[in-house]
């Protein structure tokens, strides 16, 4: 196992929470007091006595569908989605399949179309799986949108993301480098500059850093895009500062990472985390999925492994694997991590769905809608031919703010 040479992103994927790219923000979610129950059964809640509701004679039904049931990330997204939809006098439903497969999602989408809902916002298991069913949706007047993990641009009205793909991918790399060099994260710091400073000093010249990834499914659109961004940044950094970063996947022409897939399933993720531990080849695991983060944190801590962890995690799930203060920051399994405000991500997605059905938002570049005093405008998607709505900025969770956010997300 590689010794950490410095006793010696900004990724924060969590966006301001709301995104992931260069700077980190401390703004709290307006939905932070929402019920974060993990009951993922079908929900159609028409009680909006706690929200300011606009009168609607014929309320529309807007559905949010996550990759599968039993995922706190999806539960929290629905909290925001429901709040935004019901604030307009419409109805919200939470419908997700039991299995994390594209086929299960498509079957459920068909059922919902036949039921006569107005819109379905999907966090997809496979971007291209909905192309055929989109014709049925169109003929029935059902709007298809996506959030977090995209469906194909040709069949969606719009897609909502917390931040850009490269904002996430590059900062996951910077976080891994900083953690291996035992460089603390400080609020609002430039993680890219710090990572390049570490490499410019040849910190890992005698023992090059080896990075592993514990991802979701092999077909998961957003995870695959983040990983591709990580690969591009590793190649760039390796060319600029040679000898500091090892090729963890020798023999592959297109990957410097050791990648394993936990299928966003807790037990599968545990199995893959244990494989990293038993192989003992990587120095840090980057997990761009909350299910993988929790599984890896548990196994690394229980096994007393020296492998470190970072990625995209929920503070409420990761608190036991993170430092209590600056003195023990690098004794912890996960010194710091990122994510975005999943409640706000869901809320903006819900507002987009309502606006699309009302006809005030068509997803084209430049089209916009308002929610909670903010105007959101569709921009060109840098990662596809479609457009995207970007919610906000990246956010890092570290020992300095975990007490605050642990009770929120």
Domains of the chain: 43-163+341-391 (3.40.50.2300), 165-338 (3.40.50.2300)
Residue 70 φ/ψ region, left for φ over 0, alpha for ψ in the -120 to 50 degree band, beta for the rest: left
Cα gap 263→214, rounded to integer Å: 9
Q: Is residue 244 a contact partner of residue 202, using CB atoms and an 8 Å limit?
A: yes
User: How confident is the model at residue 340, as a pLDDT?
Assistant: 85
Strand partners, 376: 369
Structural contact between residues 88 and 354, judged by C-beta atoms closer than 8 angstroms? yes
* Total residues belonging to the chain: 409
Q: Quick check: 258 and 282 in contact, CB under 8 A?
A: yes
Angstrom distance (rounded) from CA 50 to CA 82: 12
Residue-level pLDDT at 163 = 87
Q: Can you give the pLDDT at residue 48?
A: 36
CA distance 401 to 208: 31
Mean pLDDT by 10 residues, the chain (409 residues): 35 34 33 33 37 60 96 93 98 97 98 98 97 98 97 97 91 98 94 98 97 96 94 97 92 87 97 98 97 98 97 95 92 95 94 98 98 96 88 88 88
The pLDDT assigned to 186 comes to: 94
SS3 337: strand
């Amino acid at each position: 196992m590689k010794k950490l040479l410095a006793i010696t992103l900004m990724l924060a994927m969590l966006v301001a929470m709301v995104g992931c790219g260069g700077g980190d923000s401390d703004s709290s979610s307006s939905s932070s007091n929402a019920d974060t129950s993990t009951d993922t059964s079908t929900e159609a809640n028409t009680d909006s006595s706690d929200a300011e509701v606009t009168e609607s004679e014929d309320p529309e039904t807007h559905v949010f569908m996550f990759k599968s049931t039993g995922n706190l990330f999806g539960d929290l997204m629905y909290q925001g989605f429901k709040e935004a939809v019901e604030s307009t006098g419409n109805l919200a439903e939470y419908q997700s399949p039991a299995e994390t497969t594209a086929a299960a999602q498509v079957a459920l989408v068909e059922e919902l179309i036949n039921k006569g809902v107005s819109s379905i916002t999907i966090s997809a298991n496979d971007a291209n799986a909905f192309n055929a069913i989109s014709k049925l949706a169109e003929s029935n007047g059902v709007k298809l949108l996506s959030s977090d993990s995209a469906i194909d641009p040709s069949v969606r009205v719009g897609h909502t993301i917390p931040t850009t793909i490269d904002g996430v991918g590059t900062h996951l790399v910077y976080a891994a480098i900083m953690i291996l060099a035992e460089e603390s994260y400080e609020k609002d710091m430039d993680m890219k500059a710090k990572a390049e400073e570490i490499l410019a000093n040849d910190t890992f010249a005698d023992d090059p850093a080896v990075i592993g990834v514990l991802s979701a499914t092999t077909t998961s659109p957003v995870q695959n895009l983040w990983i591709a961004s990580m690969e591009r940044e590793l190649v760039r950094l390796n060319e600029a500062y040679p000898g500091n970063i090892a090729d963890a996947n020798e023999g592959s022409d297109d990957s410097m990472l050791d990648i394993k897939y936990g299928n966003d399933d807790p037990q599968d993720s545990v199995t893959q985390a244990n494989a990293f531990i038993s192989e003992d080849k990587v120095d840090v695991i980057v997990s761009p999925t909350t299910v993988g983060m929790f599984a890896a944190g548990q196994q690394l801590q229980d096994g007393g492994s020296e492998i470190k962890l970072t990625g995209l995690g929920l503070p409420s799930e990761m608190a036991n694997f993170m430092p209590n203060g600056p003195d023990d920051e690098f004794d912890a399994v996960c010194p710091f991590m990122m994510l975005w405000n999943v409640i706000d991500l869901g809320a903006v997605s819900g507002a987009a769905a309502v606006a699309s059905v009302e006809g005030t938002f068509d997803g084209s570049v430049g089209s916009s809608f308002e929610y909670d005093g903010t105007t959101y405008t569709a921009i060109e998607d840098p990662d596809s031919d479609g457009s995207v709505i970007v919610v906000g900025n990246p956010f890092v969770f570290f020992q300095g703010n975990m007490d605050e956010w642990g009770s929120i997300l």
